[in-house]
Amino acid sequence: AKLVIFRGDLPYPPHDIVRRIELLDETDVIGVGGFGTAYKLVMEDNCAFAVKRIDRNREGSDQKFERELENLGSLKHMNLVSLRGYCIFPSAKLLIYDYMIRGSLDTWLHGKSPATLLIHGHKISSAIKLYIMLVLCRSHLVILMHVVYTEYTEADPVLNWNARLRIALGSARGLAYLHHDCSPAIVHRDIKASNILLDENLEPHVSDFGLAKLLVDSETQVTTVVAGTFGYLAP
């Protein structure tokens, strides 16, 4: 196996990382998406990482794969999930990311990990779910919100309005960085709640941008392939 760690900032011997990746199985699965399956990788010191296995039918050549990942591995922003490295096996290619302990925004908004609303320090009898659509129009940010009511559970963690607004703005900042501060620019092409991950402080981190198609800096080239998830695609 070939292991590449960006910036050399993982304090583990390469052979230990490879060995633990080889031991991953279905019990370690934390998600399945359009680009592949994600696993939770736990090191000996209990530090966790997310490992995404790329589907074979989505892989390109090793040379192109590694060249694009070198670019993506150099990106650093507080609202992006950091790509820490990758590992190439004869039968699979795997990406190593920081693990976000609070899971995806989708799980909070759709009842899998319900959130409660806090107003003036008091929980109310109904939790309000906030559905957020982020629209970047040139240099302007538009936040569209749709509110619905769900049942409240006393044991639920708190997701107050400040946290919800912070998630919306942080996600938009991550996308703006990809669009305007990267060269070539990166278009996510599949932004949705399940691709916004939350850390222990409920800070948002945009994920799966590493698998987005890099824009070619040419005004004459137009991408005609439809990418994304139905229900989230632009009209």
Q: Determine the longest span between alpha carbons in the chain, in angstroms.
A: 56
Residues 69 and 112 placed together within one structural domain of the fold: no
Residue 182 lies inside a defined structural domain of this protein: yes
Residues 193 and 133 placed together within one structural domain of the fold: yes
Residues 66 and 164 placed together within one structural domain of the fold: no
Residues 68 and 138 placed together within one structural domain of the fold: no
pTM: 0.74
- What is the mean pLDDT of the segment spanning 209-234? 54
Residue 218 lies inside a defined structural domain of this protein: no
What CA–CA distance (Å, rounded) separates 233 from 145? 17
- Tell me which of 79 and 223 has the higher pLDDT: 79
Annotated binding site: 52
Q: Looking at the predicted structure, is the pLDDT value of residue 39 above 60?
A: yes
Residue identified by tokens 């994304």 is 228
What's 12's domain CATH number?
3.30.200.20
Q: Looking at the predicted structure, is the pLDDT value of residue 179 above 50?
A: yes
Residues 145 and 203 placed together within one structural domain of the fold: yes
Per-residue model confidence (pLDDT) at position 214: 35
Question: What is the SS3 string spanning 52-109?
Answer: EEECHHHCCCHHHHHHHHHHHHCCCCCCECCEEEEEEECCEEEEEEECCCCCEHHHHH
- What is the mean pLDDT of the segment spanning 79-84? 95
Annotated binding site for ATP: 52
Query: Which listed residue (190, 199, 208, 217) is catalytic?
Result: 190
What's the number of domains the chain is made of?
2
Residues 46 and 125 placed together within one structural domain of the fold: no
Residue 15 lies inside a defined structural domain of this protein: yes
Residue 92 lies inside a defined structural domain of this protein: yes
Backbone phi, psi, residue 64, to 5°: -70, -40
Residues 57 and 81 placed together within one structural domain of the fold: yes
The one-letter code for the residue type at 152 is Y
Residue 24 lies inside a defined structural domain of this protein: yes
- Among this protein's residues, is 98 annotated catalytic? no
Average pLDDT taken over every residue of the chain? 76
Name the percent of the chain lying above pLDDT 70. Answer: 66
Residues 69 and 130 placed together within one structural domain of the fold: no
Residue 91 lies inside a defined structural domain of this protein: yes
Residue 235 lies inside a defined structural domain of this protein: no
- Tell me which of 68 and 127 has the higher pLDDT: 68
Residues 45 and 80 placed together within one structural domain of the fold: yes
Q: What is the CA radius of gyration of the chain?
A: 19
Residue 219 lies inside a defined structural domain of this protein: no
Per-residue model confidence (pLDDT) at position 160: 82
Residues 120 and 174 placed together within one structural domain of the fold: yes
Q: Looking at the predicted structure, is the pLDDT value of residue 102 above 90?
A: yes
Domain span holding position 162: 105-211
Residues 11 and 80 placed together within one structural domain of the fold: yes
Residues 93 and 174 placed together within one structural domain of the fold: no
pLDDT band (50, 70, 90) for residue 24: very high
